[in-house]
Amino acid sequence: MQGVAIAERAYQHARGLCAGAGAGRVVGAAKGAAASSIARPPGCAAHADDDARACTEAARALGYVTAAALDHAHRHPSAEVRRRELAFAELMIPIVKGWSTELAQKTPLWASRSTAAGLHRGTGAAQYLRDARITTIYEGTTGIQANDLIGRKLARDGGKSAG
């Protein structure tokens, strides 16, 4: 979920830059003139960045669904439901970890793409990329998550959990 949080913050950062950050005075404006506002600088996507928003919301939802399955696996009164929910949660954990941490690394890049390059420099956006990069170490590399999914979670029951 740390990856989701970083992706969300990077998206909000890009959206804020596109929404009208002060740009200083217009060239040739009178001395002391008020700073102009940027309604949508060149290079800003019309909706900040729909890819970043949609993927971040989907990753958050997937994390919540998996967390709810873990809750049901531990608390549901039916042993059969607990078993099924645990199998689902265990199957989903490497997917949630791997996708969310990879998403966190892509979102600052999407944000950079959707904002004018000159505006994005020096605004702290690179920190999101650095923060995101470390999440793959915390969560295990994407390769480890993939091996866990394929080698353990799918193989253990012949793919029944995935079905």
Q: Which residues are catalytic?
A: 139
- Report the C-alpha gap between 98 and 137 in whole angstroms: 11
- Report the C-alpha gap between 98 and 143 in whole angstroms: 8
CA nearest neighbour of 13 among 123, 113, 101, 134 = 123
What is the tally of helices (H) and strands (E) in the chain? Answer: 6, 2
- Report the C-alpha gap between 88 and 91 in whole angstroms: 5
58, containing H or E segment: helix 50-75
